[in-house]
Amino acid sequence: MATFQYIAKDAAGNETRGQIEAGDRASAIAAVRAQGLLPTALGEVKNAPAASAPSAKKPAKKAAGGAVAKKGGGLGSKEINLKLPNWMRGKVKTKVLTQFTRQLATLVNAGLPLMRGLEVLKRQMKDPQMNEALNGIADNIAAGGTFSESLTQYPKIFDNLYVNMVKAGEAGGVLEVVLGRLAEFAEKSEKIKNKVKGAMIYPIVVLVAAIGITAFLLVAVIPKFKQVFNDMLGGAALPAITQAVIDLSEWVQHNGLTLAIIVAALVVIKKVIGKTPAGAKFYDLLSLKMPVTGTLVQRTAVSRVTRTLGTLLSSGVPILQSLVIVRDTTGNRIVSQALQNVHDAVKEGEGMTQPLSQCSVFPPMVVSMVEVGEETGALADMLTRIANTYDDEVDNAVAGMTAAIEPALIIVLAVVVGTIVIAMFLPMIKIISSVSGAGA
């Protein structure tokens, strides 16, 4: 018989820790479940004295620093503090994290213990950073830590939103439900992000092509035409449009390096200003007020805020803590300030409606739906409905913007190239006429 130490949840979601004797791991899991507990971590205690009786339903004690107090040897003998090399501490792709979360939710929902689920996913994980993280998480849980505590060791992979939702799921005994919501949230967020990126690919390609073609004509083609005109026309005056294009070509040839330095300097200055609080806030405000893209940025921000807040609240995270998490994950300082105002109002016992209405980011329809959600006690559900509505509006805005930008860029490219062609063709007419007259 071997001694196993376990961490489990009872029917009320309370955490229980204890030891049990069994012939193997499967028998130990079955014995813990026979007590009406759901095991979340289980490991064999090496060189431990035989346990006289299962110490079930014994709540974990907290040490002075808030960590779980560890006694004896084996799993609870020490707290593991995982440290990865800096080159390993990077972000994993959203697709990898989403796939892991979805698969773990499925395994836990099927009744597989958390540790067993992590072992299954660890064996099939191909991403080296995620694999390293799963190894550390599994070791930390085996040493007596909780799943949410283990996730905090990898902040570049699991952000505050992820950790706090998992913590709420552990506290409520609904970890598989929370993991499913996290996967759904990540999938929808990534879908919106990919749509916006995809919509910008074609315009950017056309714009780069226009700049490249124009630069090639000005630097390589126009100078040759200028030499032909000088030889054939003997220094005669050229049409105004032709002279303007030739002057522009000469300026680009003589000042190309200066132009490149100016562009690079402007990019650096923009980045430096963007790192200052005032500059970053100005850029965030500007992104919301831009004529064409401002509406898209606003709708995307509203969708992200409402979906994140709704997901946190429906998972059992307290509203004040949820507002702090959403505030820190918006990516826009104007929206963050609005959420800080909401947090302060809720902390004082007020509702969310008034501070939301004072921020121009949130339309009146959103404020009204939040007010209804507060009055009916279905705020989380109402926020999710708002997010779904604005996801559709983002789709429509992306489609409309793409439909407007694509022909506009093609027209610009045609005008630029057409102007250069016409400017070079007009002197050719004069040359042909002079040659024809001389031949007659």
State pLDDT tens for residues 20-34. Answer: 888 877 788 778 877
Residue 303 lies in a domain: yes
Mean pLDDT of 43-55: 53
**What does the pLDDT average to over 232-248?**
83
Contact 241, 426 (CB under 8 A): yes
Secondary structure class of 3 (helix, strand, coil): strand
Measuring CA to CA, which residue among 47, 44, 36 is closest to residue 20? 44
| 217, 366: one domain | yes
Element (H, E) at 19: strand 15-22
**Which has the minimum average pLDDT: 49-63, 85-99, 114-128, 413-427?**
49-63
d(CA 37, CA 14): 10
pLDDT(99) > 70: yes
10 in a domain, yes or no? yes
What is residue 74's predicted lDDT score, i.e. its pLDDT? Answer: 39
Q: SS3 for 83?
A: coil
Residue 178 lies in a domain: no
Domain-located, residue 138? yes
Residue 73 domain-assigned?
A: no
The radius of gyration of the chain's CA atoms, rounded to the nearest angstrom, is: 32
Domain CATH number, residue 192:
1.20.81.30
User: Mean pLDDT over all residues of the chain?
Assistant: 79
Q: Give the whole-angstrom CA distance, residue 337 versus residue 415.
A: 44
Judgement on whether residues 235 and 140 belong to the same structural domain of the protein: no
Mean of pLDDT values over 131-137 = 88
Give tens-digit pLDDT for 67-81: 333 333 334 333 333
Residue 177 lies inside a defined structural domain of this protein:
no
Per the CB < 8 A criterion, the answer to whether 61 and 196 are in contact is no
Query: For the domain that residue 48 is a member of, what is the CATH number?
Result: 3.10.20
Between 301 and 79, where is the model more confident? 301
Query: Is the pLDDT assigned to residue 171 strictly greater than 80?
Result: no
In a domain, 25, yes or no: yes
* 16/114 same-domain check: no
- Asked if residue 429 has pLDDT above 60, the reply is yes
Per-residue pLDDT, averaged over 122-127, amounts to 86
Phi, then psi, of 231 in degrees rounded to 5: -70, -40
Q: Which two tokens stand for residue 297?
A: 């940025």
Whether 251 and 320 map to the same domain: the answer is yes
Most distant CA pair in the chain: distance in Å? 122
265 pLDDT more than 90: yes
- Residue 280 clears pLDDT 90, i.e. is over it: no
Would you state the pLDDT for residue 206? Answer: 81
Above pLDDT 70, what percent of the chain?
86
As a whole number of angstroms, the distance between CA 32 and CA 76 comes to 18
Rounded to whole angstroms, how far apart are CA atoms 146 and 68? 9
Give residue 269's pLDDT.
Answer: 92
Q: Whole-angstrom Cα distance, residue 107 to residue 263?
A: 53
Residue 154, judged by CB atoms within 10 A of its CB (0-12, 13-18, 19+), counts as: buried
Tell me, what's the pLDDT at 47?
Answer: 57
Claim to verify: residue 311 and residue 417 sit in the same structural domain: yes
Of 49-63, 171-185, 262-276, 417-431, the least confident: 49-63
User: With 50 as the cut, is the pLDDT of residue 403 above it?
Assistant: yes
Q: What mean pLDDT is predicted for residues 338-351?
A: 89
pLDDT classification of 54: cutoffs 50, 70, 90: very low
Q: Is the pLDDT of residue 440 over 60?
A: no
Tell me if residue 92 falls in helix, strand or coil.
coil
What is the arithmetic mean of pLDDT over 51-77?
38
Domain range for residue 104? Answer: 86-158
Contact, 407 vs 203, CB < 8 A? no
Q: Which of 72-76, 160-164, 373-377, 392-396 has the lowest mean pLDDT?
A: 72-76
- Tell whether 149 and 246 lie within a shared domain: no
Residue type, 154: Y
Domain boundary among 10, 39, 57: 57
pLDDT at 51 over 70: no
Alpha helices, H only, 88-221: 94-109, 114-124, 128-142, 147-151, 160-172, 175-216
Residue 439: count other Cβ atoms within 10 Å of its Cβ.
6
Dihedral of the CA atoms 284, 287, 289, 291 (nearest 10)? Answer: 170
Whether residue 348 is found in the same domain as residue 233: yes
Q: What is the mean pLDDT of residues 37-48?
A: 69
pTM of model > 0.75 = no
Q: What is the model's pLDDT at position 437?
A: 59
